[in-house]
Amino acid sequence: MRADLAASYGEERLPRYTSYPTAPHFSPAIGAGAYARWLAELPAAASASLYLHVPFCREMCWYCGCHTQIVRRDGLIAAYLRTLRSEIAQVSETIGRRIKVEHIHFGGGTPTIMAPEAFAELMAAMRQSFFVLPSAEIAVEIDPRTLTSDMVEAMRLSGVNRASLGVQSFDPVVQRAINRVQSFEQTASVVDMLQHAGIKGINFDLIYGLPHQTVASCLDTVRRSLELGPDRFSVFGYAHVPAFKKHQRMINEAVLPDGLARHDQACAIANALKEAGYVQIGLDHFARPGDSMAVAFEQRTLRRNFQGYTTDQGEVLLGFGASAIGHLPQGYVQNEVQIGAYAQSIAVGHLATAKGYGLTDDDRLRADIIERIMCEFSADLGDICARHGAEAGAMLKSASRLKPLISDGVVKLDGARIAVAKDSRFLVRSVAAAFDAHLDPAKQLHSRAV
C-alpha cells in the first residue's frame, strides 16, 4: 500500500458496495405490494439464496454495526422464530412454487442464540417451503463465546457445512475496549467441535482499526488464528459511526487508530495471510488455494452481495427477518427494521417490506461495473457497456471522480479497460465510487475508505 495515497484518500466515507445502489437510497415507495409482484414474476427456472436475520445477542459488542438487540428471555427469541417461519411460508406461497435454493446464510446478531430444536425446526420449515438442493451451502455466523455442543449437533443434522466465527482480535486490551472478551481457548474449542461434527468450512472474521489496536497486536491475532487453520478470512476495517450506532459512543475515539495506522494494520494483516499461503480475494477476503472462493476469483466468477464476496451466482436473494434485505432482478427490498413492526406485518398476513429500490437500466449497468471492480480490481467497460446497450466513452466521461485517480496512478486506463494498480488496491472502493451516480459524500455515514 502507498502511504501517500492512504493519506489522500483514506479519510473518505464510502460504501462497501455490497449492493448498488446502496441501502441509504432505498425508499418507502417500494413496499409490500411491489415485493409481492416481483416474487410472482420470478422466472420458472430461477433459483434463490436465502438470508435469515436473527437480531439478538446476549451482550452488545461496542464496535457492532448490525441491527441487533440484547435479550435475556428466550421467550422473545421463540416468538420471533415463529414469525420467521410464517414469513418463509408466506414468501413461498407468493412465489407460487418451491423455488430451488443453492445458498442459505444465517446472520445477526447471534443466530446460534436460538435453542437447538428451534434451529432444526427453522431448517425444516425452509425445506418444506423451498427445494433446498443437496449441494446447497448452508452457513451460520457464530459467536464462539456462546456456542454449545447441542447446537453444533443440531447444525450437523440440519446440513450446515460452513461456519463464520467472529474473532475480531485476540488482544485482551482491545477486547476490553470493545466489550468482547473472547479467549483463544474458547475459539479453539469451537473450531474443534465444528470439525468433529463434519462442518469443515471455517471462516474467521478479523477487524482492524479498533481501539488500542496496533500492527503488533494485529499480527499476533493472525498468528494465533493460523494455528486453528480456517480456510477463509474476512478482514474488515472498523466503521466508527456513533451518530448511527449509538452504542459505539462507548468506544473512546482518542484511542482509535488514525487513517495511516489503519493502513499499516490492513497491510500487515494482508501480507501475513499471503505469506501463510492464502489467496487475497478482492478488498477484504482471503482463502486457501483450491477453496471454492479462490477458484471463483481465479475464474472471474466471483460475486458480491450483502454477505460480502460470494461464490453464489444466483440473481435472487430472499431476505427473512427484521431489517433483512432481498435482491431480485427488479430491485431491492428491505423488511421493517423494528422487530415489533416486522412481527405485526407478518401476523396480519402482509409481507414485511418497509422500503426498497426499483432498478433502472443505468443502475444495472453501473452495478455490473462496480461489481467487477470490487471483485477483480478491473473492468472492461467496452464489454460491459455493450452488453447493456451503452457507450463506454459516455460512461468514462460521466465518471469525473476517475480523473484524479488516474493522475495519482491508482487507476490505469487502457482504451476502455480500467485496472486498479496493484499497490493501490486498498483504494478499490474509491475507484468503484467513481461510477456511483447516487453518491453524495456530504450525506454518507459509511466507513473510511481505508
pLDDT in tens, 62-80: 999 888 999 988 999 999 9
Q: Residue 223: helix, strand or coil by DSSP? A: helix
Q: Residue 7 pLDDT > 80, yes or no? A: no
pLDDT at residue 448 in the model:
55
Which amino acid is residue 380, in one-letter code? D
Please state the rounded mean pLDDT for residues 258-284. 93
Q: Which of 51, 35, 38 is nearest to 322 (CA)?
A: 51
CATH 1.10.10.920 residue window(s) in the chain: 1-20+360-450
pLDDT at residue 12 in the model:
81
Please state the rounded mean pLDDT for residues 377-395. 97
Most confident option among 1-5, 13-17, 403-407: 403-407
CATH 3.80.30.20 residue window(s) in the chain: 21-320
Q: Residue 450 pLDDT > 60, yes or no? A: no
**What pTM did the predictor assign?**
0.93
Please state the rounded mean pLDDT for residues 10-39. 93
424 confidence band (pLDDT: 50, 70, 90): confident
Q: Residue 447 pLDDT > 70, yes or no? A: no
Task: Report CA-CA distances (Å) from 72 to 56, 305, 337.
Answer: 9, 32, 20
Please state the rounded mean pLDDT for residues 420-432. 91
Q: Residue 58: helix, strand or coil by DSSP? A: coil
Please state the rounded mean pLDDT for residues 432-436. 96
pLDDT at residue 4 in the model:
77
Q: Residue 446 pLDDT > 60, yes or no? A: no
Q: Residue 230: helix, strand or coil by DSSP? A: coil
Q: Residue 6 pLDDT > 90, yes or no? A: no
Task: Report CA-CA distances (Å) from 238 to 2, 230, 421.
Answer: 20, 21, 24
CA distance 172 to 221: 11
C-beta of residue 248 within 8 angstroms of C-beta of residue 447: no
Radius of gyration of the chain (CA): 21
pLDDT in tens, 92-119: 999 999 999 999 999 999 999 999 999 9
Helix and strand element counts for the chain (H, E): 16, 19
Q: Residue 9 pLDDT > 90, yes or no? A: no
Q: Look over the chain and give the mean of its residue pLDDT values, rounded to a whole number.
A: 94
Q: Which of 325, 321, 323, 352 is nearest to 84 (CA)?
A: 321
pLDDT in tens, 294-341: 999 999 999 999 988 999 988 899 999 999 999 999 999 999 999 999
Architecture of the domain delimited by 1-20+360-450:
Orthogonal Bundle (1.10)
Q: Crossing angle, helix 184-196 and helix 149-157, to 10 degrees?
A: 30
pLDDT in tens, 25-39: 999 999 999 999 999
In this structure, the strands spanning 232-237 and 285-287 are: antiparallel
pLDDT at residue 67 in the model:
87
331-335: strand order across its sheet: 279-281, 285-287, 232-237, 201-208, 162-168, 131-142, 100-108, 47-54, 317-320, 325-328, 331-335, 353-358
**Percentage with pLDDT > 90 across the chain:** 87
pLDDT at residue 65 in the model:
87
Considering the domain 21-320 in this protein, what is its CATH number? 3.80.30.20
Q: Residue 89 pLDDT > 80, yes or no? A: yes
Identify which has the larger pLDDT, 23 or 6.
Answer: 23
pLDDT at residue 440 in the model:
79
CA distance 299 to 293: 10
Q: Which residue has the cell 431476505?
A: 319
